[in-house]
Chain A
Amino acid sequence: MSPVTILELFRGDDGTWEAAVEPVRGGNDLDAVDDLASYPSERAPVRVLGATRTLTVYRDGERAFVSYDEALPG
């Protein structure tokens, strides 16, 4: 199982999940998890770079994240 790069989410001012797309300068600016399947998930609207799409949102306690590749395919 390869680690998966993720994008963390925060609650926007209107309560919608928003992806934190930040400039990446190096490996320390990106997070990865070993196994997405081990986290509970749901489909939910997420705002990514101004556009809202329905994505799989994974939860880890209060933390929420999406797969980078699903949110921002190359």
Chain B
Amino acid sequence: MPRTDSVNRFAVLRTTTTPADPAGRSPAASPPTDTAVAAPPLASVADTAPTTPGRANLSSVRARLPWAIAPRRTAIWQPVDRSALKRPIATAGAAPITSSIAIGTRVEAAIGGVRIAGTLEGFDYRGRAVLLDGTGQRRIAGFDNVIARSPHRAAPFCLDALPPEALAKAPASLARAMRQALELKVNGNHTAREYIDRFHELGYEVYIVGGCVRDAISLLARDPNATPYQILPLINDIDIVTTAPPPVARHLCEKLAPELRQGGVWSPPFVEQFGVVLAGGKKAGLADSEGIDIACMKRTGIYDEAAVHPDTNEKAFPTTFGHDLLADAQLRDFCANALYYDPLNDVVVDPSTRGIADAENNLLHVVKPQRDHLAEPSLSARFYKFRLRGWETDGETLAIIRRHCQMAFLPKNGKQCYALTSVLGRVAPKDANTRAAVEAWLKQLEQVMEFDGVGDLFRKSIRGRTREWVIEQVLKRTRMGAGAPHVPAPAGGDA
């Protein structure tokens, strides 16, 4: 297994395999894999699980996953009994209108006095229905105006649409640590638990996402007997993702903390176009709480320049939201960062099916290799943030990163140059708070990029004035306490 204990921590593991394909595709139809983990698939609960009427077609879900094989997880991860899963039921008023019709349903809507037929794609940043018309145009209408034309059902519980291997029962120590973490204050005197409970009361799903789930799993792989008290410090930054639209999230924050200005929400209203509402913490002027990042579950995340949409006459980024954890995961960078925790059921959700194994083994795989990664300015910088912690990768991901570096580390204009310095400022470790510490970090970054065959790009770009800008950006952020949390490299993984 690709543990870093006995190998160079920057090693790129390459094992070309032609594995069996749990998605049922013929070997000829499967893309060649160049994977770091050539382990047999998980016990195939998926193939024996009874089909529940109304559940999504799992084979079509699997066909959306890029890997022909799921890597092995440690034995602490047990399958989940789906029939026992609790789901949020609206107890405070009507069920959410955005969940009233399942995505993919044929619908009709009156837009500008004309009846438009299309397929429901999700909802926009104001909670309005987004449908694709017959010409592939993205049309926007109030849900009140939308009529289903094909047999439809309400949007399914997100976990129903995932294959069984995407769900794993949280070990007791992790579940206890999560429960304790949710009692920590995130916004003034309010706890994360209060926010989650309120979303549930309104009928919306909520999952804890990202770094805290990844780091807790990584710790449990190194020490399966870790106590909740050892895990708890890793869950100090709670980000949640919800099926609620951004205006609902903002309104909920305002109602929950009426004693705080705007409910402690400090993100500008414009940022709701990205599906994000940020409350509490230092940037809200509440230094005694950690803050909570609330993100809406995305289905598409195209961040071209904002354009005026003819249906709304608003200048907005064309992001669509919905109830699809796999789609949300595929808009994230690496599988280990696309891990979710369901606080209602104490279940770890791994939509890509390899995030748990990657977090356990400190491996970097892009969630969706076929995506246009060049559109994300931060991908390679984030990749190197983890490489500097001793994480490993595979040939396919490294090839993507090398292409990305050609764009990100060779800026052609002021905007790209700004993006590079800004992004490096964000991924520097929190303790790089002196010039000498930043210089040392840049030296390490150059070394690992050299190892990955892109050292020349580093040397061409991070020099002269750009180097000074990077140092300034890093110091600005670390002195605000905004750098990336320091996570030590795994034992034995010295550079």
Contacts and interface: CB of A to CB of B under 8 A. Distances in A.
Interface of A: 1-3, 5, 8, 10-13, 18, 20-32, 34, 49-50, 61-63, 68-69, 72-74
A23 B267 CA distance: 13
A63 B472 contact: yes
10 contacts: A3-B285, A5-B268, A5-B283, A18-B415, A26-B278, A30-B267, A49-B315, A62-B469, A63-B472, A74-B268
Nearest to A14: B414
Interface stretch (B10-18, B176-184, B222-230, B300-308): B300-308
A20 B419 contact: yes
B305 A10 contact: no
Interface string B53-70: 000000000000000000
Nearest to B412: A13
A18 B417 CA distance: 13
B270 interface: yes
B261 A13 contact: no
A68 B415 CA distance: 18
A8 B482 CA distance: 16
B285 A74 contact: no
B417 to A, nearest CB: 7
A30 B274 contact: no
B90 to A, nearest CB: 27
Q: Is the interface of B mostly helix, strand, loop or mixed?
A: mixed
A5 B267 contact: yes
Contacts of B278: 26-27, 30
B291 interface: yes
Contact of A13 (B269, B271, B413): B413
Given A10-B414, A20-B415, A49-B305, A27 B472 contact: no
Given A11-B414, A22-B422, A69-B270, 13 more contacts: A2-B261, A10-B414, A12-B413, A13-B414, A20-B418, A26-B210, A26-B293, A32-B266, A49-B315, A61-B472, A62-B472, A68-B271, A74-B269
A22 B419 CA distance: 9
Contact of A29 (B285, B301, B305, B426): B426
Given A25-B295, A32-B283, A72 B268 contact: yes
A21 B269 CA distance: 14
A74 B270 contact: yes
B268 A69 contact: yes
Contacts of B284: 2-3
Interface of B: 210, 239, 261, 266-272, 274, 276, 278, 281-285, 291, 293, 295, 301, 303, 305-306, 315, 317, 377, 413-415, 417-419, 422, 426, 469, 472, 476, 480, 482, 484
Q: Is the interface of A mostly helix, strand, loop or mixed?
A: loop
Contacts of B415: 10, 12, 18, 20
Contact of B482 (A23, A28, A50): A28
Contacts of A69: 268, 270
For the complex of A and B, list the 9 residue pairs with the smallest distance between their C-beta atoms, beginning with the closest.
A74-B269, A10-B418, A72-B270, A32-B283, A26-B293, A23-B303, A68-B268, A24-B274, A2-B285
A2 B261 CA distance: 9
Contact of A8 (B210, B269, B317, B418): B418
Contact of B283 (A20, A30, A74): A30
Most buried by A among B267, B413, B484: B267
Contacts of B305: 49-50
Given A10-B414, A18-B414, A28 B267 contact: no
Nearest to B301: A23
Nearest to B376: A23
Contact of A10 (B271, B317, B417, B480): B417
A52 B269 CA distance: 21
A24 B422 contact: no
A71 B353 CA distance: 41
Contacts of B484: 28
A26 B276 contact: yes
A18 B274 CA distance: 20
Contacts of B268: 5, 68-69, 72, 74
A6 B214 CA distance: 30
B476 A63 contact: yes
A3 B419 contact: no
Contacts of A49: 305-306, 315
A30 B271 contact: yes
A40 B476 CA distance: 18
Contact of B267 (A24, A61, A62, A73): A24
